[in-house]
Each structure stands twice: as C-alpha cells, then as structure tokens.
Structure 1
Amino acid sequence: MRYISTRGEAPALGFEDVLLTGLATDGGLYVPESLPHFSLEEIRSWRGLPYAELAYKVMYPFVEDAIPADDFRAMLNETYSVFGHQAVAPLVQLDSNEWVMELFRGPTLAFKDFALQLLGRLLDYVLEKRKQHVVIMGATSGDTGSAAIEGCRRCEHVDIFILHPHQRVSEVQRRQMTTVQGDNIHNIAVKGNFDDCQRMVKESFGNQSFLGGKTQLAAVNSINWARIMAQIVYYFQASLALGGPDRSMAFSVPTGNFGDIFAGYLAKKMGLPVSQLVIATNRNDILHRFMSGNKYEQHQLEHTLSPSMDIMVSSNFERLLFDLHGRDGAAVKTLLENAAKGPVSIEDYRWKHARKLFDSDAVDDKTTCDTIREVYEQNEYLLDPHTAIGVRAARNCRRDSAVPMITLGTAHPAKFPDAITESGLSVKPQLPAHMADLFEREERYTVLENSVSEVQSFIGKHWKNA
C-alpha cells in the first residue's frame, strides 16, 4: 500500500512514513493510492465480530506492509479494551428507524478516542522500531486535544504540544487537556480561533527550522491518514448491527473538519452499502453552502454552543475534492489557491456527482437547543449539542424513511453543560466516575498571542532535547 498527496507533487510514501509525516511536502494530504474493496459476502461474514476484530479486518490492508498481523491485532485489542462499553460503539434507538451511534465511550468521552487511542500505540510501535523521537503538534477545537494527550501521553518518544483557541472551548474540554500531568505534555491557549491554530500547525509542518534540525513534527489532527483509517470501522459496525450489508444505511455526521464523514465516504467506496451521507454543521456552514449551492467561500468564524465544529477551513475536504477531480493533484492545488483569495465553485457535473451521496444542513444554536429538549422529552435521552445538530440535520434531509438513519453521537453531553442548560432542561449530565474529580485537578497551560513565530519559539525551547 502506497500513499500519494492530494496535490500531486510529493513523493509516494509507505504507511510508516505517512504516519510520521502528516502533511505532504507539497502542502497536500496523503491518501491511499488505491483502496481495498470488500465483497458483500465478505462483509456479511463479519457479523457478530468483536469491535477490535472487525477493526482488524477493515484496517489491516492499510498497514500490512509495515506491521505484522499479530502485532496489529494486539494493538487493536489493547486500544478498544479501554472503552467503557463492551460494544465499543453501541447503538441507541430514537424512533422506529432512527438511531444514535454512541462514539463517546472512550477515555475522553468523544469520537476522537477511536483514532487517537490507536494513533498513540502506532507511534510508539514505529518510533521504538526506528529509535526516533518526534514532536507532536496539533490544533483542537475542543476534543482532539484531550484525546491526543490521552492517547499519546505514555509514548516514550514524543513531546506533545496542543494548540486550542483561548476561551473558545468548553470548560470540561479545556480541563481534560490541561489537567493531564507529564513533562512531555504542553497545552497552548492561542488568542485566536481554531482556524488560526490550524493554520499555525500547517505552516509549521511546511517549515520545521524552528526545531533546529534535531527532530521532526508528527501530526495528530485528522490530516494524519491514521485518524481517517480508524474512523472507517464504525460505519461497518453500525451497518452490520442493523442488517447490513443486505440493506443500505444512511448516516448523519456532525462535522467541521470533514474527517469523520470522509471516513463514511471511504467505507462506501470499500464496498459498504451507504445510500446517503448528511453533512451536519452549525452556523459555521462552509460545507453546507458548498454542498447545497456549489459555492466554497470563507465567512467570519462564529462562536457557537457546538464549539468542536467552529471551523471554517475544513482540511479534509481536500481529500474529497481530490476524488471529485479524478485524483488530479494539480487541479486541486489550483482550486485551493483560488479559494484562499475568494469564492470558488467546481464544474457542475462534479458537484452533481457529489450530491448523489451527500446532503447537508446548517443548524443554529436555538434549533440545537430545541432538538436537545425535544429528544429528551420524547425518549429521556440526552444529546450533546453536536449530536443534536446531527439528529436535526438527519430529520431535515432524510431521503427514505425505510433506510435506517444513524446519527454519529460524537461527544458525551457532560462536556457541554451550557447547551443543556440553555435548552431549558433541569437535568444535569454527570461526568463518569473516572472524571468525577476533573474540576479539582490542577491545570497547566500557557496563553500565547496569535503569532506563529511566538508559538514556534515556545515549542523550540520546551521540547525535551531542545
């Protein structure tokens, strides 16, 4: 399995190098040169498998050149044994054919645990084999940071620097990052928004001179292919639990950076029957505006009750654009260069091809709160604001009521108590036992100006061998 850049100029790499490289040297994102494809008969044979074994079946083709089968199986068993539910990704029924897949049963109560618990173990494995040290640099709109720290904090060969927008994540999200102790863990609160943080990460990967040539950066954001790879699995899990692959499924995905829903797109390309993917966004609706009207245009970023989706530059959307343009890296590069200057559209036939699978919706804060209240009154089931956006978009965009509609439940409601309060409910979501003392733990983070040079200087001085 070789991996190529979405901009067509960087050299093809194997899995190990893609894992450690993150962003390609030409500024693009790595994708497999070709995807594995599973027959319906093969997918059907996976019914009833434990989650870790299903993960092995789906993911091993992506890593088989780099990791022996027994080692990868052991890694997956260890990864998913730390989740707080035997099913790992359990399904909860809301209505006759409407479901929520709970992806928040991992250590940090968010779907990012599925990929980042594995990513930490992959990094440990590869870096130990190479006797190499790396500096992890990542940006978070709330959940990636804590999941990355939890997944990688025991890695002996890494220093971790996570950037988050100062005062623009929930208190629970912040404390999950800033209360983890470790000499190799550094939290940076940037006086800006998530897009500013993400831009700094991309610029730093493009020019790593601030590290003095002594180490290299590694990515934990969903620009890292390993993140996407791990998220493909739960689409197969949900389908098999509800009668797939002998019936098609529809999924609604709360998304800002397009990584989680791109994994669903890949699941379909790998043979899973998927009839509809709904892009569920908040007021920061660049993806909805593109998918509904073929216009990709950046607006001012707004702060919402669903902060993990407060993103205007959706990095992983480039991976879909690459496919929509027939894997023409030069065309993608030109399109994105133009998008940095103003609104862009793609050829009508390409856009219509995307619309065969994708629908989209943008949900404001009031409707988010209305949905939280409505679902709780109907089912006594509490949604976090991101999942509520997914449920509302699913109901607004559903094409066929006979097809199971599965909304990805991306975070535990206890991470966003303000949204629950604003919905008018008196119920208070409780943190699980392993986080009961979160508000008593000591915090450690550094507030920096919205300056890439200031952030790079801090990292250059504070990684352990600087």
Structure 2
Amino acid sequence: MKYASTRGNVAGIGFIDAFMMGLANDGGLLIPEQIPQVSVAQLEQWRTLEYTELVQAIFELYVDGEIPSGELKQLIESSYATFRTPEVTPVQQLKDDLYLLELFHGPTFAFKDVALQFMGQLYSYVATKTGQKINILGATSGDTGASAIAGLRGKEGIKICILHPEGKVSRVQELQMTTVLDDNVLNLSVEGNFDDCQRMIKELFSDIDFKNKHQLAAINSINFIRIMAQTVYYFYAYFRITEPGSTKKINFSVPTGNFGDIFAGYLAKRMGLPIHKLILATNENNILERFINQGVYKPDQFKMTYSPSMDIQVASNFERYLYYVTGENTEQVKSFMQQFAEKGEIVIDSAMLAIVQAEFSAYGVAGELCLQTISKYNEETNYLLDPHSACGVAAAEQCAGQAEITVSLATAHPAKFDEAISLCGIKQTFPDAIAELSNKQQRQTKVDGDLAAITDELITFYG
C-alpha cells in the first residue's frame, strides 16, 4: 500500500512516511493510491471479531507489512487498554430504527480518543525505532487537543503543541488540555476561532523548510492515519446490528464539522461496507450542509453554538472527498482548491452534485432543536445526549427513510458540555475524572491570532 496526494505531486509514499508527513508536501492531503476492497466473505469473517482484532484486520490492509504483525498487535492493545469498556465503541438501541454508537469511552470522553490513543502509541513507536525527535503540532475545536495531549503527555522524544480558540471551547475541554503540566506539552490559547487556528496550522505545514527544520508531525485529521483508525467503528457497529446475509438498509448519522469522521464512514463504504446513506449532521455553521444540498462550498459568518466542536466553516478533510467526487482527478482538485483560495467558494456541476446526493444527506440542526432533542430523549428513553450527539440524532430523524435503520454517532460524553445540558433543566452526575478537573492547576499561553506570534512560540518550545 502506497499513499499519494490529492493534488498529484506526491506519490509512492509508504505507511510510516505518510504518517510522519501528515499534510502532503504539495499542500494536498494524503490518500491511499488504491482503497483496499473487502469481499462479502471477508466481511462475514470479520463479524465475530472483538474490537481490537477488527482494528488489526483493517490496519493490516493499510500498513502493508511496514510494522510486523506482533508489534502492531501490541500497539493496538496498548491503545485501547485505556478505554473504560472492552467493547471500546459499544452500540445502544434507542428506538426500533435508531441505534447509538458510543464513541466516548476513552480517557478524555470523546470520539477523538479512538484514533488519537493509537496515534500516540504510533508516534512513540516511530520515535523509539528511529531515535528521532518528533514535534507534534495541531489545532482543536475542543476534543482533538485533549485527546492528543492524553495520548502523548510525558512520552520520551516527543513534544506536542495544541492551538485552541480562546473562549470558544467548553470549560471541560479547556481544562482537559490546560491542566496537563508535563514539560512536553504546550497549550496556546489563540485569539480568533478554530478556522483561524486550522489555517495557520496548514500554513506552517506547507512551509516545507520550517516543517523539516522543526520535525513537525500532524495530529489533526489532515493525517490520514487518524481517518483510517476511525473507519473501524463503522464496521464494528454494522456487525453489532445486523445478521449474516442481512439486506437491511443501514444509514450512519454523523455529527461533523471538519468532514473527518464522516469521511471515515465514506472510506468504509468505498472499502465494501454496505452503508445505504451517510447523513451529515451539523449546526448553524452549515457550510457542509449547503454543499451537499446545493453543490456550493462557501463559508458563511462564523457562529458560536451549543455544539462548539462543530463550530467550523472550513473543513480540512473536504479536499479528500473532492478527490473522489471528481473521479480522482488531481488537476480538477487543484483547480477547485485554487478557486477556493482566490474566490472563497467552490461550485460543482450538476453531475457531481448528483453523485454527492446519492451518497450523502445533510441537515443543519439549529440550537433550539438541539436542546429539544436532548430533552426529548432524556424524557422518553432516559438517555442523556451531549449536544453534538443530539445533532446527529435530530438529523437522523429528518433524513432517514422508512424501513431504514440508522446508527447515530455519539461523539462525546454529556459531562463535557454541561453548558448546554443545564439549559435543558437537566442536572447530571459527572464522572470523577471530569469532576476533579476544576481543582487542578492550569497552564496555557495566550497569543494573538497571527502566524508570527504562533511561530515565535513554536520556535521557543521546540528549540
């Protein structure tokens, strides 16, 4: 298995090199040169596997022998030993036609742990094998930062810096990042919003001299290995709710702002998992909904919402999907991305839009509906949804057809977003690990939202 850029100027990259490169050196995103195909017979063989066994079976298709099977197994088992349930991502039934895929049983109570616990182990593995220093750089709308820091804190030979938008993450998300005092961790609280943080991250990775000098590695979903790790739970959930030979139409409803989690589902579908429809759930920052419904990708005015992890206007994984919807046409992708850089929008033709709408539905969940959904399911099923998971459930109710079953992704524990839960008049009990955060010492550095200020901090930190 080799990896190539969506923009066509990087190709033939091995698994570990793709992992370490993160953003492709031509500014594009890395994707496998061929998506592995899984037969119906192979799917049935995987049906009875435990979660870590399924991870290994899928990873072997992408690692292509670069990591010996025994060492890969050890990495996987170490990654998921940190989860609070051996199922890792258990499935709960809410209604006859609606299931919830719980992705918040990792150390930071968010779906990002599923990928980032593995990536932390893999970075440590590479650092140990090669003896090289690795400097991780990432931006977060809330959950990525905490998960990445949890996976990399205290690891020898690794430093990690995370940018988060000041005042635009939940209090728990902020505390999960800033109460980690290990010397190899730097939190930068940046004036601006997540899109500003993400843009500066991409600019730094696109500066090849700076990237190489400071040995930068990516933790955001611009790194394909994060997408790969998230693909696994789509297979796992499908196996939990179907029987062998099932012909049921299975949808997945995915709360997403950066198009990473839902792209993992798209990848699973391209591999051969029989997903009927991918439902994209978002909030008032609904650029992705407009693209799927109208074929226009254009940022609007940024809005703060009850689901801050989706408060994103420019989705970093969108380029990966463009690559496939254009028929893997790298020249067309480059043209689209140049158009976006110059004019601030991408408009696809009717033929491409028909392809998009055959694969996706989308619904932007306004704040009031989000809160109503939390209250409704708490009253009717005694299940407490966090606001992002509530967006997924609300979108499923709007978009799923009759005689279809939908798995909605529960991306975070409600304790991380008590600001929204309390507005519903609900008093929740906090897990000990979250309740104890407010008593811990914090450490963060506040910086202006410009590239020069960020660069100065990084040079000092990375050395």
TM-score, structure 1 as length reference: 0.96
Contact 2:415 2:434 (C-alpha < 8 Å) held by counterparts: no
Residue 418 (structure 1) aligns with = 419
CA distance in 1, matches of 2:48, 2:415: 31
Contact 2:2 2:11 (C-alpha < 8 Å) held by counterparts: no
Shift of 1:209: 4.6
CA distance in 2, matches of 1:403, 1:77: 35
CA distance in 1, matches of 2:295, 2:94: 33
Aligned pairs (5 A) from 1:342-421: 342-400=344-402, 402-421=403-422
Letter in 2 for 1:277: L
Superimposed CA distance per residue, residues 343-380 of structure 1 (whole angstroms, 9 cap, x where no aligned partner): 32112111101211200000111110011001111111
CA distance in 2, matches of 1:330, 1:135: 32
Instruction: Give the SS at the match of 2:291.
Output: helix
Shift of 1:257: 0.3
Contact 1:277 1:358 (C-alpha < 8 Å) held by counterparts: yes
Matched, 1:15 2:15: yes
- Which shows bigger deviation, 58-67 or 189-198? 58-67
Residue 134 (structure 1) aligns with = 134
CA distance in 2, matches of 1:124, 1:371: 41
Instruction: Give the SS at the match of 2:188.
Output: strand
TM-score, structure 2 as length reference: 0.97
Instruction: Give the SS at the match of 1:395.
Output: helix
Shift of 1:434: 3.1
Matched, 1:436 2:435: yes
Shift of 1:391: 0.3
Instruction: Give the SS at the match of 1:404.
Output: strand
Shift of 1:404: 1.8
Instruction: Give the SS at the match of 2:126.
Output: helix
CA distance in 2, matches of 1:426, 1:164: 28
Superimposed CA distance per residue, residues 36-89 of structure 1 (whole angstroms, 9 cap, x where no aligned partner): 111111111222321100111112111123100111111111111111112111
Residue 194 (structure 2) aligns with = 194
Contact 1:252 1:390 (C-alpha < 8 Å) held by counterparts: yes
Instruction: Give the SS at the match of 1:99.
Output: strand
Residue 284 (structure 2) aligns with = 283
Aligned pairs (5 A) from 1:159-178: 159-178=159-178
Aligned pairs (5 A) from 1:25-424: 25-207=25-207, 209=209, 214-243=213-242, 246-247=246-247, 248-340=249-341, 341-400=343-402, 402-423=403-424
Superimposed CA distance per residue, residues 421-444 of structure 1 (whole angstroms, 9 cap, x where no aligned partner): 112x2322x332333311101000
Contact 1:210 1:456 (C-alpha < 8 Å) held by counterparts: no
Shift of 1:411: 0.3
- Which shows bigger deviation, 196-205 or 48-57? 48-57
Instruction: Give the SS at the match of 2:404.
Output: coil
CA distance in 1, matches of 2:422, 2:434: 20
Name stretches of at least 5 consecutive residues in structure 2 with no aligned partner. Answer: none
Letter in 2 for 1:221: N
% identity of equivalent residues: 45
CA distance in 1, matches of 2:269, 2:240: 16
Letter in 2 for 1:237: Y
Name stretches of at least 5 consecutive residues in structure 1 with no aligned partner. Answer: none
Instruction: Give the SS at the match of 1:156.
Output: coil
Instruction: Give the SS at the match of 1:101.
Output: strand
CA distance in 2, matches of 1:110, 1:285: 22
CA distance in 2, matches of 1:433, 1:284: 33
Would the alpha carbon gap of residues 273 and 11 (structure 1) be closer, same or farther in structure 2, given more than 3 Å must change?
Answer: closer
CA distance in 2, matches of 1:214, 1:450: 23
Shift of 1:214: 4.4
Contact 1:54 1:237 (C-alpha < 8 Å) held by counterparts: yes
Would the alpha carbon gap of residues 376 and 453 (structure 1) be closer, same or farther in structure 2, given more than 3 Å must change?
Answer: same
Letter in 1 for 2:42: E
Shift of 1:208: 5.3
Contact 2:154 2:183 (C-alpha < 8 Å) held by counterparts: no
Instruction: Give the SS at the match of 1:113.
Output: helix
Contact 1:252 1:407 (C-alpha < 8 Å) held by counterparts: yes
Contact 1:103 1:408 (C-alpha < 8 Å) held by counterparts: yes
Instruction: Give the SS at the match of 1:304.
Output: coil
Contact 1:146 1:176 (C-alpha < 8 Å) held by counterparts: yes
Shift of 1:265: 0.6
- Which shows bigger deviation, 238-247 or 354-363? 238-247
Instruction: Give the SS at the match of 1:137.
Output: strand
Contact 1:387 1:407 (C-alpha < 8 Å) held by counterparts: yes
Shift of 1:218: 0.3
